[in-house]
Structure 1
Amino acid sequence: MKVSRNEMVTALSRAYEGAGHEIGDYEDAGQLVTWLQMAGLSGFDRISLPPRAPKGGATPRLVFENGDIAVLDAGGADVCEHGSLAAYLMHSKANKSGFAIIELANCRYPGLILRSLSMVAQLGVYISAYRKDQVGSHGASFESGATFPHYWRLDNADDRKEISTVTIICTNQPALLADAVTRQVEQPELQRFEISAAQLAANYNQALEQGIEVDPGQWDALNAAAWPILVRSDTQSRSGAGPM
């Protein structure tokens, strides 16, 4: 089946709200997952359905910080809870010194941070991010001003859990980013899978025009997750629903 972008964002936001996520976080979750799904990077495959409850704790723990580097411990929370904070902290540091590295550690579904990084890249900086999970190593590099990254994956699966660390590099100097990207992929013996920024953009535009392909079972699970926020239909609730 196919659904529109607005339908998916709304369904995801309601599902995350139903799981107990705060306002702002559940709205971010809807945007993050939908963006990844439309780009062809399987946003639905990166989350549990129904969504899990928030890990708790209003802010991540700052483990280390200096002028160029910051390490944040998400404590097992979803990217939707702290991903935007990490992305904009990185941008702020890069604006001051020209180069910044942020690590968001102990994070669930770190791949979903790509949409937040896209928003920052469009402000005119170069970004590279990489992480490891059960599948292997993943990386993405944004050109300055770009909406979509060049994405790559190396299939070197291990026993890592779904909670892992995403490392993000941000700079206004393309030569520094090129060197960082080269160091990430120095494993020629491993199978490398790549998707260009142009292909991700084409996937997104096709989904925008033709709808997003969704498995009916996943869609039903997503909508069922919103039940906790639905108002019970009775005389009192109907009387406050406005004119018929």
Structure 2
Amino acid sequence: MHVSLNEFTSTCRRALDSLGFPPGEYEDAADMVVWLEQHGLGGARLLGEILPRLAENRWPALTVTHDDGGCVMMQMDHGSILHGGSLAADLACTRALASGLGLVRLHGCSDRSFILGYLARCARRGHHIAAFWCTGEPRRAVQNVAVALADARLPVFRRFRADGGGEQEADTDTLTLMATRDFAMLPAASDEHTDMELLEMVTAEEFEARSRRAWDQGVEIDASLWRDLSAIRDRRLVAASEESRQRGAGETNPAD
């Protein structure tokens, strides 16, 4: 079914709120989902795939396992990047402001492509930031690289197969974030690497064109996903209404 971006954003926010995402977190998570959909990377489809997991699992623990002042290592208890990606990115940016460079590695997380939307937000706040993660099988993984420069509205996204497709071990449940005050400190993300097979590249200009189409034409959402999101959203609204009625029925006028 066809919906506007505003409709999709509102429904995602209310659904994630109903699933137990805290205030502030559910807005960030919903915005990351919508960003992927708005920019042609299938955010709605990915949300549909993980929605049962988000609905059934408790909020995952997120702990710092190492911090040497330069690199922060964090462990997530097998949660989605929607649960802690914004926190990790904000930490990288905070460290970059303090020392010039912030490096955060988040282990044990899934659905890492959602971080793209938050990179764009960090860049609009004046941070240079890059994200790296591998997808696929550990010995046949694809390297994903996204770079957003300060004050740029949109990142550049590339997918590589290392060593021309040769088999190598890769960590497929880790997200690495690097933020810096000096863009020259970011690793080069050129598509001219001779030892890397470029599988896909999406420029900021292409992202901008996709975004304009989504705003003008809306987005296509699977009808079953829309029903699921609406049902989850409505659970929260019904619960809030019932709580309000009970509170109102029990309240008395102080003057009585």
Paired residues for 1:219-234 under 5 Å:
219-231=226-238
Q: 2:20 corresponds to which residue?
A: 20
- Kindly state the Cα deviation for residue 191 of structure 1 after the two structures are TM-superposed: 4.6
Instruction: Go from structure 1 to structure 2 and tell me whether the alpha carbon gap of 1:191 and 1:90 turns closer, same or farther (over 3 Å shift).
Output: closer
Structure number with the higher strand fraction is 2
Q: Distance in 1 between matches of 2:115 and 2:8?
A: 18
Report the Cα distance in structure 2 between the residues aligned to 1:115 and 1:17, rounded to whole angstroms: 19
133, 138, 142: which one pairs with 2:144? Answer: 138
Separation in 1 of the partners of 2:83 and 2:135? 19
Whole-Å Cα distance in 1 between the matches of residues 77 and 216 of structure 2?
38
Counterpart mapping for 1:32-43 below 5 A: 32-43=32-43
Aligned length: 233
1:215 and 2:222 are equivalent in the alignment: yes
1:105·1:165 contact (CA, 8 Å) conserved in 2?
yes
**After the TM superposition, which of the residue ranges 149-158 and 110-119 deviates more from structure 2?**
149-158
Question: Displacement of 1:89 after TM fit?
Answer: 0.9
Matching residue of 2:254? none
Aligned mate of 1:181, from 189, 192, 195: 189
Contact map agreement 2:191 2:198 (CA 8 A) in 1:
no
Instruction: Tell me if structure 2 keeps the 8 A contact 1:19–1:51.
Output: no
Amino acid in structure 2 at the alignment position of 1:74? M
* Offset at residue 184 of structure 1 (A): 11
Task: Output the amino acid matched with 2:160.
Answer: L
Alpha-carbon separation, structure 2, partners of 1:123 and 1:108 = 26
Task: Give the match for residue 176 of structure 2.
Answer: 167
Whether the 8 Å CA contact 2:119–2:155 is kept in 1: the answer is no
Q: 1:69 aligns with which of 65, 68, 71?
A: 71
In 2, Cα distance between the equivalents of 1:64 and 1:186? Answer: 34
Q: Which runs of 5+ in 2 are unaligned?
A: 249-256
TM-score, structure 1 as length reference: 0.82
More helix by share: 2
Alignment RMSD: 3.1
Contact residue 102 and residue 180 of structure 2 kept, 8 A: yes
User: How has the CA–CA distance of structure 1 residues 180 and 168 changed in structure 2, closer, same or farther, with 3 Å as cutoff?
Assistant: farther
3-state SS of paired residue (2:23): coil
- 1:133 partner SS: strand
State which of 147, 150, 154 in structure 1 corresponds to 2:156: 150
**Corresponding position of 2:251:** none
CA distance in 1 between partners of 2:28 and 2:3 (Å): 19
1:8 maps to amino acid: F
Amino acid aligned to 1:15: A
- Pick closer, same or farther for the CA change 1:15–1:187 going to 2, 3 Å: farther
Give the TM-score normalised by structure 2.
0.78
Deviation at 1:44, TM superposition (A): 1.9
Give the 3 Å change call, closer, same or farther, for CA 150–183 of structure 1 in structure 2: closer
Q: Which has the larger radius of gyration?
A: 2
Q: Which amino acid aligns with 2:178?
A: I
SS of the residue 1:124 aligns to? coil
Distance 1:186 1:44, change over 3 A: farther
Letter in 1 for 2:236: I
> Mean alpha-carbon deviation: is it higher for 136-145 or for 19-28?
19-28
How far did residue 165 of structure 1 move? 1.0
Percent identity reads: 28
- Say if 2:210 is the partner of 1:203: yes
1:49 Cα offset (Å): 3.3
Cα separation, 1, equivalents of 2:194 and 2:81: 27
